[in-house]
């Protein structure tokens, strides 16, 4: 285990070294850790001026990039081999809760914010690529479909999950209702194109298949406190 002097809000594994991970912290910094060297962080990047709430390592081949999102309303692009950020993305008018790389399109990431928008960015282009007014509430989480490069899901304080097709953002392609408090994290399945999982401040984890007339597959009520995070195993189909 590693110790840091502030709360850690998110973590991402390196895609090129199985021992390396990056955490993001309440003091605005990112920490790079090596599980083979447990002395302390290999490196600390301190540029965000408020909580660094999300961090993600790029998923497409041929690039080693990290994106972070902060309560300072900016996202930052990092190359872990370079000691400072490569670029800062401004545009959100509220805190950023989630920054997720596209698993399909190199240099493309999405961000979800308290300003009620989902935004899509291209690291090679100036400004924001797409602004989706996805909810009339703070959006705490977003994720990309692993099987469709145009499909994203958002989860918000209004207790709903919404699916968005980037080619037509006027209406969501699906809305999933059932949670009774804010949705904190949503993830698409790595194995099934229409399956996703969400967790919420209502203490539950829910599994959905948005292709079905009754999309709620299962509600798991094992937790006795807020469920703040979840992920799906890449190796074991049934494991979360």
In a domain, 22, yes or no: yes
Q: What is the pTM of this model?
A: 0.95
Q: Where are the beta strands (DSSP E) in 86-212?
A: 87-89, 96-101, 108-113, 118-122, 128-132, 139-144, 151-156, 161-165, 174-176, 183-188, 195-200, 205-209
Q: What is the pLDDT of residue 7?
A: 95
**Count of structural domains within the chain:** 1
Q: What is the pLDDT of residue 187?
A: 97
Q: What is the pLDDT of residue 60?
A: 83
In a domain, 14, yes or no: yes
Q: What is the pLDDT of residue 238?
A: 87
In a domain, 70, yes or no: yes
Please state whether beta strands 118-122 and 108-113 pair in parallel, antiparallel, or not at all (unpaired): antiparallel
In a domain, 187, yes or no: yes
In a domain, 47, yes or no: yes
Task: Return averaged pLDDT per consecutive 10 residues of the chain, 240 residues in all.
Answer: 93 92 97 91 96 94 91 97 94 97 95 98 91 98 97 98 97 98 97 97 98 97 94 92
82: CATH:
2.130.10.10
Q: What is the pLDDT of residue 63?
A: 85
In a domain, 127, yes or no: yes
Please state whether beta strands 96-101 and 87-89 pair in parallel, antiparallel, or not at all (unpaired): unpaired
Of 150, 153, 129, which is closest to residue 139 (Cα–Cα)? 153
In a domain, 115, yes or no: yes
In the numeric block, the tokens 């209702």 are attached to: 177
Q: What is the pLDDT of residue 28?
A: 97
Tokens encoding 128: 């924001």
In a domain, 15, yes or no: yes
CB 221 within 8 A of CB 178: no
Tokens encoding 139: 């959006």
DSSP character for 44? E
CB 193 within 8 A of CB 148: yes
Tokens encoding 35: 């599980």
Write out the residue range of the structural domain in which residue 108 sits. 8-193
């Amino acid at each position: 285990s590693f110790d840091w002097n502030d709360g850690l809000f998110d973590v991402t594994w390196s895609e090129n070294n199985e021992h390396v991970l990056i955490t993001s912290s309440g003091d605005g910094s990112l920490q790079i850790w090596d599980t083979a060297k447990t002395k302390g962080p290999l490196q600390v990047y301190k540029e965000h001026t408020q909580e660094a709430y999300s961090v993600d390592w790029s998923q497409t081949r041929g690039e080693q990039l990290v994106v972070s999102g902060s309560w300072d309303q900016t996202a930052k692009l990092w190359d872990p081999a370079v000691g400072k950020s490569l670029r800062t993305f401004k545009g959100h008018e509220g805190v950023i809760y989630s920054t997720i790389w596209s698993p399909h399109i190199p240099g493309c990431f999405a961000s979800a914010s308290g300003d009620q928008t989902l935004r899509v960015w291209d690291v090679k282009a100036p400004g924001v690529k797409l602004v989706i007014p996805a909810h009339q509430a703070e959006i705490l989480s977003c994720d990309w479909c692993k099987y469709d490069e145009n499909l994203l899901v958002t989860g918000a304080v209004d207790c709903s999950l919404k699916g968005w097709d980037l080619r037509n953002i006027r209406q969501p392609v699906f809305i999933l209702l059932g949670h009774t408090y804010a949705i904190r994290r949503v993830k698409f399945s790595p194995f099934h194109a229409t399956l996703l999982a969400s967790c919420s401040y209502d203490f539950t984890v829910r599994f959905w298949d948005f292709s079905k007339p009754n999309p709620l597959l299962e509600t798991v009520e094992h937790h006795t406190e807020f469920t703040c995070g979840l992920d799906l195993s890449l190796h074991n189909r049934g494991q979360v």
